[in-house]
Amino acid sequence: MEFNPSLPIYLQVITMIQREIVLGILPMGARMPSVRELAIQYTINPNTASRVYKELENEGICFTKRGMGTFVTENGARVQQLKTEMAQELIHQFLDGMQQLGISEEEAIQMLKKENHIFKGGNVC
Amino acid sequence: MEFNPSLPIYLQVITMIQREIVLGILPMGARMPSVRELAIQYTINPNTASRVYKELENEGICFTKRGMGTFVTENGARVQQLKTEMAQELIHQFLDGMQQLGISEEEAIQMLKKENHIFKGGNVC
Amino acid sequence: MEFNPSLPIYLQVITMIQREIVLGILPMGARMPSVRELAIQYTINPNTASRVYKELENEGICFTKRGMGTFVTENGARVQQLKTEMAQELIHQFLDGMQQLGISEEEAIQMLKKENHIFKGGNVC
Amino acid sequence: MEFNPSLPIYLQVITMIQREIVLGILPMGARMPSVRELAIQYTINPNTASRVYKELENEGICFTKRGMGTFVTENGARVQQLKTEMAQELIHQFLDGMQQLGISEEEAIQMLKKENHIFKGGNVC
DNA sequence: GTGGTCTAGACCACT
DNA sequence: GTGGTCTAGACCACC
């Protein structure tokens, strides 16, 4: 497991867990790994693992039962919303980024469709 | 000017300058703002500004003339390559991210088009 | 510890550390002094020490574990390559320098062999 | 003409001129380029060129006649001494550097001969 | 004026 | 404790 050193580790782990929830790998209501298990799983410090759960809880993605552990929310709408948020975020990043490179949405979509990713750029002005 | 606190400032400034170069706002061979000017422009410390130019120089995006300033590379191929790199990075982020949300490429492109229409139509979900 | 004022301190420290690695004083995979320790060891600023490690990391000579410290690369080939590079650099400097003094390689080697270093030059043209 | 950015330009120019004197390209007593000519020749600033001559004069390598220009010293012993100094400096650098890489003098000389062959395309004297 | 280097001291994320 | 980043302010060589 390699982390991007330019981004806080806890943010990167949060994203990974959110993905597991969105994908149903961690189903609604399921017990999540303990803080220690999480720490081992991602080879991070337990403090960092703890922070991950704290943030997820703040976002309503999971909740804790004292003495029993941490659980995925049972709120299906919240999970759906999470998926939408994450997808929208990706879309936004992509379209914005492309626009700031002077690439129109149509071009961007064209480039996306060609999975070969070959880009014969045009305008460097 | 607001910076994302989760990303080093110098990296964000690097990206902004790269975009200006790719867009031709900073044309090839042009003199770039002095370190001190850059510091003022982005309200950062001259040291941080200096670091920005140093990293860009390491990437072959700009070069330095002693006592005269910093200049955009005159290597057109390098600028084109930069544009390609930045676009591919965005494409990669998008497709990977979508895939990790369990969204197929076709779906992803559909969502992209829809969002694109929303941008243009002014509708808000 | 005295530094040559005509050469940036960080470059001189880099060379000293590279030598320690080449000589095995700092073995492969070993933990290197912390940034703060290095700063004390060479009586330089922690910032300068940090720069030293950063450049070494760029060269693939060392790597960093977040919160744990800086470590010598475990890539033996890289260390061997480093030694070769440093030796070649010295050879190049020597032969080039001698040639530019109008001293043939054979003469240069002769002078080298006589460890007395006494030079009774011949041709001032 | 490219200068090593890690070394003051005036020092690099001094070395180049010393070499020309040692080689007799600039013979003893000869008139040297004017400060302005030197500046143009090496594409350096006249201030830097001026400093070069000042330092060379301090070392007894050249002298100035008011209104007439700068001239190579007429002291043959001084020129010979200069050549010796420069050669010994190179020898010292080489042997010291190799020793600090843990390479014995015999090995160093072997490597030197080998490199020499490479330079000369296998021509051994 | 320019960039390059260095110091001093601070805050942050992570172990 | 660790390295990474940032600020503030200084000096230097060079133009």
pLDDT tens for residues B39-77?
A: 999 999 999 999 999 999 999 999 999 999 999 999 999
Nearest residue by alpha-carbon distance to C1' of E15? C67
Task: Give the angle D18-D20-D21 at the CA atoms, nearest 5°.
Answer: 65
Strands B69-72 and C62-65: unpaired
pLDDT of B119 higher than 60: no
Q: How confident is the model at residue D116 (pLDDT cuts 50, 70, 90)?
A: low
Cα–Cα nearest to A99, from B93, B116, B6: B116
Distances (CA, A) of B74 to A64, B26, B59, B63: 58, 11, 13, 9
Distances (CA, A) of A119 to A113, B99, D7: 12, 21, 42
In degrees, to the nearest 5, what angle opens at C-alpha A97 toward C-alphas A92 and A101? 150
Interatomic CA distance for residues A47 and A62, integer angstroms: 18
With b meaning 16 or more CB within 10 Å and e meaning fewer, what string describes A17-26? Answer: bbbbbbeeeb
Is residue A122 over pLDDT 50?
A: no
Determine whether the distance from the CB of A4 to the nearest atom of strand F is below 7 Å: no
Helix B105-121 and helix A105-113, axial crossing angle in degrees, nearest 10: 180
Whether the beta carbon of B46 falls within 7 A of nucleic chain F: the reply is yes
Does B10 contact strand E, using a CB cutoff of 7 Å? no
Q: What percent of chain C has pLDDT over 90?
A: 81
Strands (E), D33-112: 62-65, 69-72
| Model confidence at B125: pLDDT above 50 | no
Separation of alpha carbons C8 and B96, rounded Å: 43
Phi, psi angles (nearest 5°) of residue A124:
-100, 15
Give the pLDDT confidence score for residue B48 in this predicted structure: 96
Predicted local confidence at residue B113, as pLDDT = 87
Cβ of B79 within 8 Å of Cβ of A103? The answer is: no
Task: Say which DSSP state B63 is in.
Answer: E
For residue B83, the chain A residues in CB contact (below 8 A) are: 101, 119, 121, 124
Closest by Cα among A103, D102, A30, A5 to C82: D102
